[in-house]
């Protein structure tokens, strides 16, 4: 089955057809009952034929209008009782009663049962043989009760099956929504990771390349070291991109050379920023060994994005200060720089700040990013390791 076929089947589910007695047997039933009536009372054939048809013919529409059909059959039965004719077609009353019990409400079922029970009482009073009234009345009453029970059970079963179908449809819709949300979240995560990886590494590579160009004549050795660092930064970017896209296996050499970034890798990040021309001081306090790997990755990406923004939006003399405070339940991140005061219109734009806010919110934190009173820029957030949002991160 193709995806198009699957979508078509999902949009138009196949519903079970309503089971109904075929019209042909119902048309033959009056003839059969008429034959039986003629065999027992051939002199009463004309009224018996008319009443037999009146009792059985409405049953053709019993599913469309169960109450109306029952009323028509009950009226024909009353005329039959007034005409003092006993007909086998009286079984149509039970069929109509069953249809009401199976398709109508409880009140309509009780009214119909009471009507049939009254008809049974009148029939036993008029046609009971040898004064034996009680036995046939009890038998007819038991038949009425059984008919009502069967019809009610059929209605209850049908309602239960309809509820199950509706519940299954809602569950399928919910699962489809959850799958779409999961896909959207995964796309957002990949887009955020790719933005941080590409923006940071390209910014560092551009800065290193500019430095190499400036020093290529004065200090060839330093130029060579800078170009090697550019190459290493590019490899790091490729490895991070492959890991983000889920195509890096844990047994590959690059997975060991470039482990998942965390707090321990902030030293290497600070070194790259210094080499790119941004003097960076790193201060990490508190043990981070028990901080979950996902939370450490969040801390790393927050610091990486903040330093990248400083590198891109401040002059060469700017310095950056990174402070990380780790406790058993929280991790506090502060990144400041001493660059010239920036107006809100000069603030970093694009996906950087929103991505940082999303990362922080995943751990119950609120990120604050803005200019300092005396100049410079400050980024602050506190991640709550025991937050409910830490699980999906």
What is the mean pLDDT of the segment spanning 298-323? 88
Give me the pLDDT at residue 229, please. Answer: 75
* pLDDT given at position 380: 94
Cut 0.75: pTM above it? no
User: What 3 state SS string does 223-261 have?
Assistant: HHHHHHHHHHHHHHHHHHHHHHCCCCCCCCHHHHHCCCC
CA distance 84 to 217: 127
On the 0-12 / 13-18 / 19+ scale of CB atoms within 10 A, 305 is buried
CA 125 to chain centre: 63
Q: Convert 251-264 to b/e letters by CB count within 10 Å (16 or more is b).
A: eeebeeebeebbbe
Q: What is the mean pLDDT of residues 327-338?
A: 93
pLDDT at site 8: 41
More confident residue, 230 or 390: 230
**C-beta separation of 305 from 356 below 8 A:** yes
pLDDT, tens digit, 9 for 90 and up, residues 48-89: 788 888 888 888 888 888 999 999 988 988 888 888 888 888
**Burial profile 170-200: b = 16 or more Cβ within 10 angstroms, e = fewer:** eeeeeeeeeeeeeeeeeeebeebbebbbebb
Q: Report CA Rg, the chain.
A: 42
Mean pLDDT of 112-139: 84
Residue 248: phi and psi, rounded to 5, are -100, 120
Q: How does pLDDT run across 145-197, given as a tens digit for each residue?
A: 998 999 899 999 989 999 999 999 999 998 888 888 887 877 777 777 777 77
The structural domains of the chain, ordered by start, are 22-170 (no CATH), 262-393 (3.30.565.10)
| Beta carbons of 113 and 96 less than 8 angstroms apart | no
Q: For residues 183 and 343, which has the higher predicted lDDT (pLDDT)?
A: 183
pLDDT in tens, 204-250: 787 778 777 877 777 777 778 778 777 777 777 777 777 666 655 55
Q: Which of 85-99, 156-170, 243-257, 333-347 has the lowest mean pLDDT?
A: 243-257
Local confidence band at 43 (pLDDT 50, 70, 90 cut-offs): low
CB 127 within 8 A of CB 78: no
In angstroms, the CA 199 to CA 95 distance is 78
Looking at the predicted structure, is the pLDDT value of residue 129 above 80?
A: no
Sheet holding 377-384, edge to edge: 280-285, 320-326, 330-337, 377-384, 368-371
| pLDDT, average across residues 267-293 | 88
Lowest model confidence (mean pLDDT) among 165-174, 244-253, 297-306, 308-317: 244-253
- The DSSP annotation for 154-198 comes to HHHHHHHHHHHHHHHHHHHHHHHHHHHHHHHHHHHHHHHHHHHHH
- Is the pLDDT at 21 greater than 70? The verdict is no
Q: How many residues does the chain have?
A: 393
pLDDT of residue 106: 87
**What's the rounded Cα separation, in Å, for the pair 349 and 369?**
12
Proportion of the chain in helix, strand, coil states, percent, rounded to 5:
70, 10, 25
- What's the pLDDT band for 45 if we cut at 50, 70, 90? low
CB atoms inside a 10 Å sphere around CB 362? 19
């Amino acid at each position: 089955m193709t995806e198009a076929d699957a979508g078509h089947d999902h949009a138009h589910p196949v519903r079970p057809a309503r089971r109904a007695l075929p019209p042909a047997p119902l048309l033959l039933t009056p003839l059969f009952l008429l034959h039986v009536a003629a065999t027992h009372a051939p002199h009463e054939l004309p009224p018996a034929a008319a009443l037999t048809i009146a009792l059985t013919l409405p049953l053709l529409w019993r599913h469309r209008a169960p109450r109306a059909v029952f009323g028509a059959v009950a009226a024909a039965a009353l005329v039959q009782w007034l005409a003092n004719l006993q007909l086998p077609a009286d079984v149509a009353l039970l069929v109509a009663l069953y249809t009401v019990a199976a398709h109508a409400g409880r009140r309509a079922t009780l009214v119909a049962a009471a009507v049939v029970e009254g008809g049974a009482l009148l029939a036993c009073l008029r046609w009971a043989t040898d004064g034996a009234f009680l036995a046939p009345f009890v038998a007819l009453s038991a038949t009425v009760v059984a008919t009502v029970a069967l019809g009610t059970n059929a209605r209850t079963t049908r309602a239960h099956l309809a509820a199950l179908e509706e519940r299954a449809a809602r569950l399928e819709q919910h699962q489809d929504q959850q799958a779409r949300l999961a896909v959207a979240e995964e796309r957002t995560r990949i887009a955020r990771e790719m933005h941080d990886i590409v923006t940071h590494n390209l910014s560092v590579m551009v800065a290193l390349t500019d430095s190499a160009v400036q020093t290529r004549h004065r200090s060839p050795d330093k130029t060579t070291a800078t170009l090697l660092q550019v190459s290493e930064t590019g490899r790091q970017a490729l490895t991070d991109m492959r890991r983000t896209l889920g195509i890096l296996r844990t047994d590959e050499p690059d997975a060991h050379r470039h482990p998942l970034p965390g707090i321990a890798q902030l030293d290497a990040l600070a070194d790259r920023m210094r080499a790119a021309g941004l003097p960076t001081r790193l201060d990490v306090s508190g043990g981070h060994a028990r901080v979950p790997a996902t939370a450490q990755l969040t801390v790393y990406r927050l610091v990486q994005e903040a330093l990248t923004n400083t590198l891109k939006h401040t002059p060469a003399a700017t310095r950056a200060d990174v402070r990380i405070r780790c406790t058993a339940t929280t991790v506090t991140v502060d990144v400041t720089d001493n660059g010239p005061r920036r107006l809100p219109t000069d603030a970093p734009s694009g996906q950087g700040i929103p991505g940082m806010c999303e990362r922080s919110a995943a751990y119950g934190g609120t990120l604050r990013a803005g200019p300092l009173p005396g100049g410079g820029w400050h980024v602050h957030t506190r991640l709550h390791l025991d937050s409910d949002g830490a699980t999906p991160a």
